A and B are shown apart, each in its own frame.
Chain A
Amino acid sequence: MIINHPLLGPRDAAEFVYLGDAALIDRPDPEAENADEQFYEYGYLRDNPAGAHQELWYHEQGDRSWLVVTRDTLTHEITGVKLARDEAKKRGRNK
């Protein structure tokens, strides 16, 4: 597979390390009332869709960016690549 890195251009997926669903960005608030329930779902439950999947890839043999890649799990077609840091901020993680 080839991932079109937003800063570095097309790169072989073998340069990256895969983590999983980009929902892992959305770490729950540990102070929330049902934090244990939220952390359980965050830590263990996955949508695991057959189709478009937003997922985290780390450019370990490159610039060490974490990326959010939108990839179809049926065809492996990649339709979007963003810096995870930007995506995290967009999702309201500003700390």
Chain B
Amino acid sequence: MSQQTHRISGGLIDRSSTLEFTFNGKKMQGHPGDTLASALLANGQRLVGRGFKYHRPRGIFTAGSEEPNALVQLRSGAHQEPNTRATVTELFDGLTATSQNHRGSLEFDFMAVTDLLSPFLSAGFYYKTFMWPKAFWEKIYEPIIRSSAGLGSLSMQEDPDIYDKGFLHCDLLVIGSGPAGLAAALSAARSGAQVILADEDYHAGGRLNAETYDIDGISGSDWAAQTLAELSAMDNVRVMVRTTVYGAYDHGVFGALERCTDHLASSDGKPRQVLWRIYSKRSLLSAGATERPIAFGNNDRPGIMLAGAVRTYVNRYGVSPGKQVAIFTNNDDGWRTATDLAAKGVDISAVIDARDIEPPASVHGAAVYMGSSVVDTAGRKGLRAITLASGERLEADCLAVSGGWNPNVHLTCHQRGKPQWRNEINAFVPGSTLPAGMRVAGAANGALSLGAALRDGTDCATSIMADLGFKSKASKAPTASDEAHASSAYWHVPESRPRAWLDMQNDVTVKDIKQSFKEGFRSVEHLKRYTTLGMATDQGKTSNIPALAIMAECTGKTIPETGTTIFRPPYTPIPMGALAGRARGKDFRPYRLTPSHKWAENNGATFVETGNWLRAQWFARPGEKGWRDSVDREVEMTRASVGICDVTTLGKIDIQGKDAAEFLNHVYTNAFLKLPVGKVRYGLMLREDGIAYDDGTTARLGENHFVMTTTTANAVLVFRRLEFARQCLWPGLDVHLISTTDGWAQFAVAGPNSRNLLSKVIDAPFDLSNDAFPFMACSELTICGGTPARLFRISFSGEMAYEIAVPARFGNAMMGVLMEAGKEYDAVPYGTEALGVMRIEKGHAAGNELNGQTTALNLGLGGFVSKKKDCIGKTLSQRPELNRDDAIRLVGFKPVDHSQPLLAGSHFITKGDTANMANDQGWMTSVAYSPTFGHSIGLGFIKRGHERKGEIIRVVNPARNIEVEAEIVSPHFYDPEGGLQRG
């Protein structure tokens, strides 16, 4: 205890237990119930940090989340947490904190030299210099500015904590548990409504815990405790302390952050914080008010604090921030600090009131100066003395300053509501446009006396309950006094000559505001942006209004005419980790696994991310030296015998109804009306703007039953568009759609032995012969003795090939069955790489070609756009510039020197032309090493490609510093006549 030189009696702390903590390595002690700030003050530590720009010594200024100065680096290692406000950090045993933003020690900061240069560092100085020589900005000036700017630093290690998210629903969300909030929550809860009461503090009760008022005959903090006990015992109430409602979003949705383990030495595997989205029918903002300072010379020294904060430290924490306290106020509430401190036996040296009126109270032992002001202060690392306007100098190690109170209107403005000025309290109160369902009560609504706040809270709750249809039990507001709170519009001390700080954190002074005015930055937004006022971590909670008042003084306008800056979420800063929750690392997005994933895992597959899918990329065999070995083998074996590939990821859409064929006619470019049952047709889809969108095959399993496949990438999007077409464009058609992508496992079985393999698994008497089941046939059938399946004779590889589908739950087994049956043919599983190689050899377009920028004409699929019928995209595909003679066409490319690889993304330049964009002929979309041909092959778009076969073209790749020559060829490298797939 001996270290706690400033500890006094009383307060809501548990003196039976002592907590050890360190500040800058120095061991200190506090008690449960302390914040880091109150514990530092108890230990006599006034100097806690350095200013942003001038590196002036700074102390604790407030007792709440509005703190601009007392920012520390909390914890260490990967848990290091920069810019943490000591005033809201609950003390725990073993806490370590260090000060920020100094070079050398906190006491001797070399950067403090900038304070001497301050005449040259006035508002916006950096816009006017550092321009010469030009190269110096990035090489010299900016690095210096950057390393001086910023406050704390990150550990640069991954955040070791976990964060959760959740949803909550309620009839009434009460934001803030001060008197108005407690009264309202109690009234609403007794009516039976579902109530959430949230407070950023760990000790609910708001200012009741910091004041000495009575309610209904007991002390305010006892009343708060009693009310909370009643609320907590009710099933329909959720009291959430350590929970900041930080943002008001549309339709009654609020963002809230609950700090679950920040008050513990370690989170111990539990979520550190939870991000709640609260869905409320109604909300009541009872967030209280924030005291504002008065600006005067050298008002930023450690020991100079807001008067209400001084009172909080004395009453709630049993700490006196000074041994000899002076008070400077422009309002009655400031006197409350004097009387409270006097009651605790703290030595009050003087009360200075800017108003020339009768003193509103008498304070034992204090000199009273009415109509006076503080013009200067002394004490480099902590206040020693103050100088009054009269020149009189008074000893003081703490100066409590009160400039009046600003209602916390922030959340009322998150949906662009504008606060309005109320002259009686010299402050902005919530405006008439509030977020839907929101009411405001208590000090947040400008009801600055305790009695008024209690009545306001009760009344609001009563009317909200009536509005929601709850029978309100006649609820009488708790009673308390309506204490005096008269204030005056006195913002800064004009007689002060030294710099007077407004924004303590960003080092914005009264002079900066005046200069801003002089230079024409007069609108509030200009002022803020030019001087950086209110842009620090406290978002100007204590500084914006005084600065605004000074600008109004300069312009000769009123404060409301001058305007107010826009409050934006969050109310107080929210950790990035909490906003992201569990969606990080491998859990950033869910994995979709193919039905045969386990089989693939067990058989040497390397996997690749394809959208959210994880697909087998290749299956390495022992002895293979790299992926190319595996892929080449898979291609060769498939083309020589048979290969099997899980193609479940392709989108599958079940289309049924008597108008199903007509529906397909609308969405595909080619005709589907006459597709016979038992047949499959390739289909091309356009967007309505005429650009090619997706392709796939559609099988007619019955007169009124089709199964469409889409590309993997577009599975969800095509289904969405089809539903749009069905519900919005052709709602009269009798057709229904179901996505069955996940319902059916589907395997490509490709290669000359595919029929032999399949004949071993399908049930008799199904006839697989070419006559009975030719190319582009389809059928439902059973396999393996009764398992339902679908068989499609389609080929992406160019080989004789089938795709066989079974209900997804059989997928993994099916892969085993097919491989087992294929053993005698040396069947190989193949992955997406071999799939890609074979489709390039065959000249099929895929995602790199169907990239949303190309037309059917570009793709060489112009013939698939039926001339006889309309379809989505047809009209706009006929626009002239999409059909220019020199339009790009999809063709194939072979390197002239077969040993050279082609690279995707290369551009084409006609031989003899300079390589520049003006001469650009197109680009290479897809390439592969073809084991079939023994050299690299490519697909690409080139102007008039269809007329240029045989031309040798420059394939330039300046990004890789490579250029090769290639011959323009047909895109169909492999079996161009298609005999094999029909075989």
Tell me the A residues contacting B by CB distance below 8 Å.
1-2, 17, 19, 24-25, 27-28, 30-31, 35-36, 39-40, 42-43, 56, 58, 60, 64-66, 75-78, 83-85, 88-89, 93-95
Q: Which of B415, B689, B728, B729 has the most CB of A within 10 A?
A: B728
Known A39-B876, A43-B876, A76-B250; contact A95-B279, beta-carbon cutoff 8 A = no
Determine if B733 is an interface residue (Cβ-Cβ < 8 Å). Answer: yes
**Which of chain A's residues has its CB closest to B878's CB?**
A36
Determine if B292 is an interface residue (Cβ-Cβ < 8 Å). Answer: no
In contact, A35 and B731 (Cβ under 8 angstroms): no
CA distance A77 to B434 in the complex (A): 13
**Which of chain B's residues has its CB closest to A36's CB?**
B875
Closest approach, in angstroms, between the C-beta of B583 and any C-beta of chain A?
Answer: 14
Determine if B879 is an interface residue (Cβ-Cβ < 8 Å). Answer: yes
Known A2-B251, A39-B876, A77-B436; contact A85-B731, beta-carbon cutoff 8 A = yes
CA distance A75 to B716 in the complex (A): 31
Known A35-B875, A77-B436, A88-B728; contact A58-B720, beta-carbon cutoff 8 A = yes
CA distance A36 to B720 in the complex (A): 25
In contact, B731 and A88 (Cβ under 8 angstroms): yes
CA distance A93 to B250 in the complex (A): 34
> Which residues of B (691-732) have their CB < 8 Å from a CB of A?
716, 720, 723-724, 727-732
Q: Which of A27, A30, A31 has the most CB of B within 10 A?
A: A27
Residues of A within 8 Å of B252, CB to CB, are 2
Residues of A within 8 Å of B436, CB to CB, are 77
> Which residues of B (250-269) have their CB < 8 Å from a CB of A?
250-253
**Which of chain A's residues has its CB closest to B720's CB?**
A58
Known A58-B724, A88-B727; contact A30-B250, beta-carbon cutoff 8 A = no
In contact, A30 and B731 (Cβ under 8 angstroms): no
**Which of chain B's residues has its CB closest to A86's CB?**
B731
Determine if B907 is an interface residue (Cβ-Cβ < 8 Å). Answer: no
In contact, B730 and A1 (Cβ under 8 angstroms): no
In contact, A27 and B251 (Cβ under 8 angstroms): no
Residues of A within 8 Å of B727, CB to CB, are 65-66, 83-85, 88
Residues of A within 8 Å of B878, CB to CB, are 36
**Which of chain A's residues has its CB closest to B277's CB?**
A12
In contact, B688 and A64 (Cβ under 8 angstroms): no
Pick 20 A–B contacts, CB within 8 A, sort by A.
A1-B251, A2-B251, A2-B252, A2-B279, A25-B729, A27-B688, A30-B874, A36-B876, A36-B879, A39-B688, A39-B875, A58-B720, A58-B724, A60-B716, A66-B723, A66-B724, A66-B727, A75-B415, A93-B731, A95-B730
Residues of A within 8 Å of B967, CB to CB, are none
- Number of A-B pairs, beta carbon distance below 8 Å: 75
Known A2-B279, A30-B874; contact A58-B731, beta-carbon cutoff 8 A = no
In contact, B688 and A43 (Cβ under 8 angstroms): yes
CA distance A28 to B733 in the complex (A): 17
CA distance A84 to B727 in the complex (A): 7
Determine if B870 is an interface residue (Cβ-Cβ < 8 Å). Answer: yes
Closest approach, in angstroms, between the C-beta of A35 and any C-beta of chain B?
Answer: 5
In contact, A40 and B728 (Cβ under 8 angstroms): no
Residues of B within 8 Å of A88, CB to CB, are 727-729, 731
Residues of B within 8 Å of A1, CB to CB, are 249-251, 253
In contact, A84 and B875 (Cβ under 8 angstroms): no
In contact, A24 and B879 (Cβ under 8 angstroms): no
Residues of A within 8 Å of B733, CB to CB, are 95
In contact, B874 and A58 (Cβ under 8 angstroms): no
In contact, A64 and B723 (Cβ under 8 angstroms): yes
**Which of chain A's residues has its CB closest to B733's CB?**
A95
In contact, A30 and B251 (Cβ under 8 angstroms): no
CA distance A60 to B727 in the complex (A): 13
Which 10 A-B pairs have CB atoms at the shortest separation, nearest pair first?
A: A30-B870, A94-B732, A39-B875, A2-B251, A85-B727, A1-B250, A88-B731, A66-B727, A85-B731, A76-B250
B732: contacting residue among A2, A24, A89, CB under 8 A = A89
**Which of chain A's residues has its CB closest to B687's CB?**
A43
In contact, B731 and A89 (Cβ under 8 angstroms): yes
Residues of A within 8 Å of B731, CB to CB, are 85, 88-89, 93-94
CA distance A91 to B714 in the complex (A): 30
CA distance A24 to B689 in the complex (A): 12
**Which of chain A's residues has its CB closest to B249's CB?**
A1
CA distance A78 to B252 in the complex (A): 13
**Which of chain B's residues has its CB closest to A60's CB?**
B720
Closest approach, in angstroms, between the C-beta of A51 and any C-beta of chain B?
Answer: 15
In contact, B730 and A25 (Cβ under 8 angstroms): no
In contact, B688 and A25 (Cβ under 8 angstroms): no
17 more A-B residue pairs beyond the given contacts A1-B250, A66-B723, A89-B731, with a C-beta to C-beta distance below 8 A: A1-B249, A2-B251, A2-B252, A2-B253, A25-B729, A31-B870, A39-B876, A75-B415, A76-B250, A83-B727, A84-B728, A85-B727, A85-B731, A88-B728, A88-B731, A93-B730, A94-B731
In contact, A95 and B250 (Cβ under 8 angstroms): no
Residues of A within 8 Å of B732, CB to CB, are 89, 93-95
Residues of B within 8 Å of A78, CB to CB, are 251
CA distance A58 to B716 in the complex (A): 12
In contact, A66 and B728 (Cβ under 8 angstroms): yes
In contact, B875 and A85 (Cβ under 8 angstroms): no
Residues of B within 8 Å of A40, CB to CB, are 876
> Which residues of B (229-255) have their CB < 8 Å from a CB of A?
249-253
In contact, B875 and A76 (Cβ under 8 angstroms): no
CA distance A66 to B876 in the complex (A): 24
> Which residues of B (847-904) have their CB < 8 Å from a CB of A?
870, 874-876, 878-879
Interface bits B22-45 vs A (CB < 8 Å: 1, else 0)? 000000000000000000000000
CA distance A17 to B720 in the complex (A): 9
In contact, A56 and B874 (Cβ under 8 angstroms): no
Closest approach, in angstroms, between the C-beta of A26 and any C-beta of chain B?
Answer: 9
